[in-house]
Each structure stands twice: as C-alpha cells, then as structure tokens.
C-alpha cells in the first residue's frame, strides 16, 4: 500500500506536512486527468509536465508509476461502486443491468485509464471491494434472469467485459464520433435478451478471479 506519510528514522510513518500533502493531492488530481485522457501509457514525466512541477517532485511522493496507480485506485473504484449502488436501486433487474452497463460505459468513455488502473491494483488491497462490486452485479443479473429479461447463460463476470468492448469503440471513435459508443452499448444490451433465435454461447465464462488478469492483458 502507498504510504501517505514520510518515513522517520525508526521506520515509522509520520504525517506529511500540509504543503507536502497539498502537493501529493495535486499530483493525484493531475494524474487522474492525464490517465483519463491517455490511459496508462502516460508517464510520470507527462504528469509532472501537466502539473507544472519538476519530475523529481513527483518521484519524491511516488517512487514509480505503480505507486501512483495504486494511490489512484480507491478514488476510481469509488466511481464504479457508486454506479453499482445507484443501478441496484432500480425497480427491476433488467433496469439495474442496463443502468449499470450504460453508466459504467460512460465512465470508461470519459476516462481511458479507468479499467487499467482498476485492473493493476494489488489484489491484497482490493479483494474485499472487488468482491462487493461483483456481488452487486451478480444480484442485478440474477434478478433480471428471474424476470426473464436476460438469457440464462450470462454471468456477472461477463458484464465488465461488455464495458471493455464498448470502451474500444469509444477510444477508436473519440475524435470522429465521440458518442458512438452509446450505439454499441445498446446493441450489446439487446444481445443479453433471451429469444427464439439466440445462439448458445461458446465456452465457459471467466471466473471472477480471472477477470483482473484478462483486463491487464488487454491492448492499450
């Protein structure tokens, strides 16, 4: 876990001075903007340039990009948790799934680094939060299946990959048709519905524990 303080002579952490903490928060705010625009291909030099500070100042707060990504993890994960909590309050399971997928896809369309940051966070820090989000999405899917609104072979682990698929459209069309991803979100959501001509899905779905590994390997 990234320390939020400076080390003392005995190895314990002490709180950052007010100016140092402001500096750290400024770096995090700017990094969030830079990664949202460029994804994790952005460098600490890019962050320092946007923040108007020397790269050495960034390295004093965050020794490498992984440390900066870890520090950003919680604030980005909160976005998805809030989306899921809002969606879960929908009157039907079908509405809940639609609300979650659309809102998560919109969050990812605005933030190119969202999936990459969440996928790269250390597992020992994120297991509880990931399990919470998975349980909420699973409940939405199960509700919708009980209503007959979603095909029975869909599982919760399929849902984040739908968002990744839409994100690919958002990234490719960003400079030509920035809202094109909405069209393909609707197409994917319609594909979740059961119907007489529905094709049986090929192969098993991912296990929840496999999802992070897959997302980490996706092309930048």
CATH number of the domain within which 104 lies: 1.10.357.10
**For residue range 99-145, what is the model confidence (pLDDT) as tens digits?**
999 999 999 888 887 877 777 665 566 778 888 999 999 999 999 99
- 152-180 mean pLDDT: 93
Same domain, 129 and 32: no
Same domain, 41 and 149: no
Same domain, 45 and 82: no
Predicted local distance difference test score (pLDDT) of residue 179:
95
User: Residue 121: phi, psi to the nearest 5?
Assistant: -65, 145
Query: Has residue 36 been placed in a domain?
Result: yes
Q: What is the mean pLDDT of the chain?
A: 85
Query: Has residue 171 been placed in a domain?
Result: yes
Predicted local distance difference test score (pLDDT) of residue 38:
87
- Counting the structural domains of the chain, the total is 2
Predicted local distance difference test score (pLDDT) of residue 123:
58
Same domain, 43 and 86: no
Query: Has residue 210 been placed in a domain?
Result: yes
Same domain, 54 and 81: no
Beta strands in the chain (DSSP E): 5-7, 13-15
- 5-9 mean pLDDT: 47
Q: Give, rounded to a whole angstrom, the gap between the first and last alpha carbons of the chain.
A: 25
Separation CA 127–CA 161 (nearest Å): 19
Contact 117, 76 (CB under 8 A): yes
Same domain, 152 and 77: yes
Same domain, 143 and 178: yes
The DSSP symbol for 204 reads: P
Query: Has residue 7 been placed in a domain?
Result: no
Same domain, 59 and 87: no
Same domain, 134 and 58: no
| Highest-pLDDT range among 14-18, 121-125, 201-205 | 201-205
**For residue range 59-90, what is the model confidence (pLDDT) as tens digits?**
988 998 888 888 888 788 888 899 999 999 99
Q: Which domain holds residue 54?
A: 16-63
The separation between CA 178 and the C-alpha centre of its own chain, rounded to angstroms, equals: 19
Query: Has residue 3 been placed in a domain?
Result: no
């Amino acid at each position: 876990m990234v320390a939020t303080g400076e080390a003392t002579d005995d190895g314990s952490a002490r709180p950052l001075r007010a100016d140092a903490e402001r500096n750290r928060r400024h770096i995090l705010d700017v990094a969030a903007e830079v990664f949202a625009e460029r994804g994790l291909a952005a460098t600490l030099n890019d962050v320092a340039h946007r923040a108007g500070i020397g790269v050495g100042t960034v390295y004093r707060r965050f020794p490498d990009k992984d440390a900066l990504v870890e520090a950003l993890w919680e604030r980005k994960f909160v976005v998805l948790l809030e989306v899921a909590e809002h969606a879960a309050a929908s009157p039907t399971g079908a509405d809940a799934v639609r609300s979650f997928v659309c809102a998560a896809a919109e969050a990812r369309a605005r933030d190119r680094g969202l999936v990459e940051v969440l996928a790269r966070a250390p597992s020992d820090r994120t297991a509880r939060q990931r399990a919470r989000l998975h349980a909420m999405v699973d409940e939405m899917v199960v509700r919708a299946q009980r209503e007959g609104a979603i095909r029975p072979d869909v599982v919760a682990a399929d849902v984040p990959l739908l968002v990744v698929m839409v994100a690919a459209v958002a990234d490719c069309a960003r400079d030509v048709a920035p809202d094109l991803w909405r069209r393909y979100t609707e197409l994917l959501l319609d594909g979740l519905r059961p119907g007489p001509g529905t094709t049986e899905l090929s192969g098993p779905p991912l296990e929840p524990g496999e999802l992070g590994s897959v997302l980490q390997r996706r092309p930048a």
